[in-house]
Copies of this chain bind each other. A is one copy, B any other.
């Protein structure tokens, strides 16, 4: 920690570029950071990190290049811990290692869920599942506010903003009303049926999503 840098970063600043060597472990202390990947024009949101969580721990541990880029979505406070110090801590402090491992395992499981989602469900089902999960994470409240921009949700879910918009509208017929940022689940049973039940796929343990990776929690309302 003594070697770490504490930084205030304005919104919309890219703080990590994929391909670069993993010099620092990043910790989001305040604000919100998007992890994304891009190739020749195309771009995909991989996760959104909220306080207090780390990102690119895996690259640090392996001393390998970053696989994702990161940019701030809001003004954010980041703690940058030099990778060598992280690796030293992992090697000498077994409690640190244990916690790092839990974090890593959580990230992995979060990504497994995300990938299953992409491969096994179509757009409407993915959205239904997402909304249900959001609702569950705040205690099964039927109403809540979307925590990030829709275009970001669309990218994370592997679809275009246009299709997200259409899907949102069409969900009215399946138990969920979306108006602007406001979401109201009107018929949970119906929505769950659409999502392809199997909340096994999304639950019961929140894993990484509780830790702040994947997409942020909504606010109940």
Instruction: Give chain A's interface residues, CB within 8 Å of chain B.
Output: 18-19, 37-40, 42-44, 46, 57-59, 61-62, 64-65, 67-68, 90-91, 94, 97-98, 100-102, 104-109, 111-116, 118-121, 158, 196-198, 200-201, 204-205, 207
CA A18 to CA B112, docked complex, whole Å = 12
Q: A101-B61, A101-B104, A102-B61 are in contact. Are A113 and B38 (CB under 8 A)?
A: no
CB distance from A216 to the nearest CB of B (A): 19
A57 and B105 within 8 A (CB): yes
| Chain B positions within 8 Å of A104 at CB level | 58, 101, 104-105, 108
Of chain B, the residue at the smallest CB distance from A45 is B119
Min CB distance, A87 to chain B, in Å?
Answer: 9
Nearest residue (CB) in B for A111 is B111
Residue pair A61, B105 in contact (C-beta under 8 Å): yes
Min CB–CB distance A33 → chain B (angstroms): 16
Asked whether, in the complex, the Cβ of B67 is within 8 Å of the Cβ of A116, the reply is: yes
Contacts of A201 in B (CB 8 A): 37, 39
> A62-B105, A101-B97 are known contacts. Are A37 and B91 too (CB-CB below 8 A)?
no
Contact in complex: B207, A37 (CB < 8 Å): no
With A94-B94, A94-B97 already in contact, the answer to whether A40 and B115 are too (CB < 8 A) is no
Q: How far does the alpha carbon of A10 sit from the alpha carbon of B97 in the complex, in Å?
A: 37
Output the nearest chain B residue to A59 by Cβ-Cβ distance. B109
Give 19 A-B contacts (CB < 8 Å), ordered by A residue. Answer: A37-B116, A39-B120, A39-B196, A44-B120, A58-B109, A58-B112, A59-B105, A61-B102, A62-B105, A62-B106, A64-B205, A67-B112, A101-B104, A104-B105, A107-B108, A108-B108, A111-B111, A115-B118, A118-B119
CB distance from A114 to the nearest CB of B (A): 7
Are B158 and A65 neighbours in the complex by a CB distance under 8 Å?
Answer: no
- Complex: A67 Cα to B200 Cα, angstroms: 8
Residue in contact with A91 in the complex, picked from B57, B94, B200, CB distance below 8 Å: B94
